[in-house]
Each structure stands twice: as C-alpha cells, then as structure tokens.
Amino acid sequence: MRRRLFLTLPAAAALAACTVSDRGGAPDDPEPPTSPAPESSAPPEPRPRTVRRPTVLAVKIDNVRAARPHTGLREATVIHVEQVESGLTRLLAVYSGGGLPQSIGPVRSARETDLELLRQYGKPVLAFSGAQGKLLPLIDKAQLYPRSPAEAPGAYFRSPSRQIPHNLYLRPSRLDPAPDKEAKPADLGLRFGGAPSGGRATGEHTVRFPAARYGFTWSAARDRWRVSMDGTRTNLTPSTVVVQYGVVRDSRFRDRWGNVSPYTETVGEGEALMLRDGRAHTGRWSRESAEEATVYTDADGKPLLFADGQVWILHVRRR
C-alpha cells in the first residue's frame, strides 16, 4: 500500500529581537582538507524541561573533513546534500516526528539555496550558526522560523574537542519554536511503498561534487546503503538515495574571501536517479513552485516509491 509522508508544521509566534550585526554567527573560516577529528562529546544534558518543539526541524550541518564524524544524523528523516563555495558541500538535515537526538552538529551557516528548498516543508524551524550579512534580511522574510544562536543561545554549545568553527552543536530539546496552532500538514512528495519495477542491479554508486565525493555501497544484510564521504566510511545507512540533477549557478552572494556562493535551483524539473534495494532506477524530478513538494517519477511518469527509512537527496549539477 502506498504511503505518503506528511509532516505537522510548527507555529508562529514573536521571534526574539536581534540586530543583523549579532546574527552573523561563527565565521566561515577557510576549510582546507584535514584529518578527521574525533567524535565530539556533548556536555551532560541539562535537566529536561517541557518545550513545544517543532515537528519539522531543519539543521544546517558542516561537512568538511574536520567536521566528521557527525553527531545526530542517524535520526534525520531526510538529508539534503548541497554544494557550497570552493566545490565543497554541506548537509541540510530534516527531522520530523519521532524522537530527536541529544545533540546535532557541527552546525554551520545558512545559504540562499536553503530558503527555496525548505519552502516545500511549509514553515519549518531552521537551526544554523549564522549567515552572510546581506543574506540575513532574506532569511528574516523567508517562510521559516530562524533559530541561530542569536535567537536561541541556550540551545547551542561548543565542544572542547574540536576547533572553531567546526565545534558548534545544537541541543534540539532546548529550542522553543512557539508552534503555530493554525499550521497544516505538508506533503513532502515522498511516496513510500514497494520497489519500482526494472532498474539495474547496483552494488555501489559514487556521486561527485567539484571538491567532495559520496559513495553508497549496498548492504543486503542490513537492507541499507552504507555511506562514505571522501573515501571514509560513516555510520549512516539510508534506505533510499536520490541523485537530483539540476541547475547549479552563481548566486549574488560571496563569502568573506570573495568566493561566489553557488545557488542550486530546486524549482523546475530534471533527471533523477533513485537507489533502493540494491538497484538503480532512472527517472525525473519536478517541482512546479517553491510552495509545492518535489515529485519523483519513473520513465513512464509513475511515482518512484521510497523504501521505509532515511532518505538522502543529493543536489548535483545537471549533466
């Protein structure tokens, strides 16, 4: 039976007042390849308190070598992979329903691509370390609830086991999203069910960005894909992986060193490749507007159904 994924959205309330100057967050320092840092250990969780946390939470995650291994990604419902400056990538982890991890990170700064991409989630909470000054007004106007350290200082901590800027972590239980009682469920466009027919047997698949590489190896024993990043295996095991080919162009924003920030268009259509159950299925993706969910279909226009479990979506430059 075909199953749709619907998410209940957080609700509106007054945001904490702050100025643009104090919302820049941790600086985006240059990120040369380094050896992986040891796993960060979070300080003891403060005594639990009752909070009205969001059902939809998106967290911007660092993904250079110094930021690995990550914390709290196994509990994410969907993980988006986006290209940023210098051909590197960052992750946008989306959490819906269920339990949340004790900590998530390392958390880094938002990009313009996030704003359009997240519209299909209705009005989620976005946790991020900060943003380029000229982008902050767009974040304030976007259909989301920004929760940087400026809005929620008690929800973040820095780990002593890593260096700035790769040591900022989020305690999701400490967020106070002030949910909107009038929020409605959002259809993410993901359809879960039996495996599509056809496809080709695929034990391994590699997705390349200009300065990053993701490997997916099928594990029949676990019925999941094992993820590696730049040749190093992680503990992440999604059930479904989608490679979404689209337009990646220059944006009007630059980082502090003058590097142009890429912008990935997520409204439109293009080719897609789905990996599930040890097979690869070619198809297409389409999204008519920023408010609509992305739809994935096979060559005959039928929905590509996802396997139960975590979903990865990699946004790659059109071939």
Assess if residue 235 is contained within a domain: yes
Other C-beta atoms closer than 10 Å to the C-beta of 126 total: 24
pLDDT tens digits, one per residue of 21-68: 335 544 444 343 333 334 445 554 443 333 344 468 999 999 999 999
Least-confidence region, from 3-7, 8-12, 149-153, 259-263 = 8-12
Per-residue confidence (pLDDT) for residue 277, from 0 to 100: 97
pLDDT band of 169, cuts 50, 70, 90: very high
Query: Up-side HSE of residue 298: CA atoms within 13 Å toward CB?
Result: 15
pLDDT tens digits, one per residue of 121-150: 888 899 999 998 899 999 999 999 999 999
Span 114-126, average pLDDT: 92
Assess if residue 194 is contained within a domain: yes
Containing domain of residue 309, as a range?
188-241+265-317
Assess if residue 307 is contained within a domain: yes
Per-residue confidence (pLDDT) for residue 132, from 0 to 100: 87
As a whole number of angstroms, the distance between CA 55 and CA 180 comes to 11
Contact 81, 214 (CB under 8 A): yes
Phi then psi dihedrals of residue 118, to 5 deg: -80, -10
Assess if residue 201 is contained within a domain: yes
Per-residue confidence (pLDDT) for residue 258, from 0 to 100: 75
3-state class (DSSP) for residue 65: helix
Q: Identify the CATH number of the domain in which residue 202 sits.
A: 3.50.90.10
- Model confidence, pTM: 0.85
Assess if residue 211 is contained within a domain: yes
Q: What is the mean pLDDT of the chain?
A: 83
Tally of structural domains, the chain: 1
Assess if residue 91 is contained within a domain: no
The DSSP annotation for 136-147 comes to HHHHHHSSSEEE
Contact 21, 69 (CB under 8 A): no
Helices (H), 65-174: 112-118, 136-141
Per-residue confidence (pLDDT) for residue 4, from 0 to 100: 55
Nearest to residue 176, comparing CAs of 60, 57, 43, 18?
A: 57
Assess if residue 152 is contained within a domain: no
Question: Looking at the predicted structure, is the pLDDT value of residue 289 above 70?
Answer: yes
Contact 56, 121 (CB under 8 A): yes
CA 169 to chain centre: 15
Residue 195 in tokens = 């495996």
pLDDT tens digits, one per residue of 83-95: 999 999 999 999 9
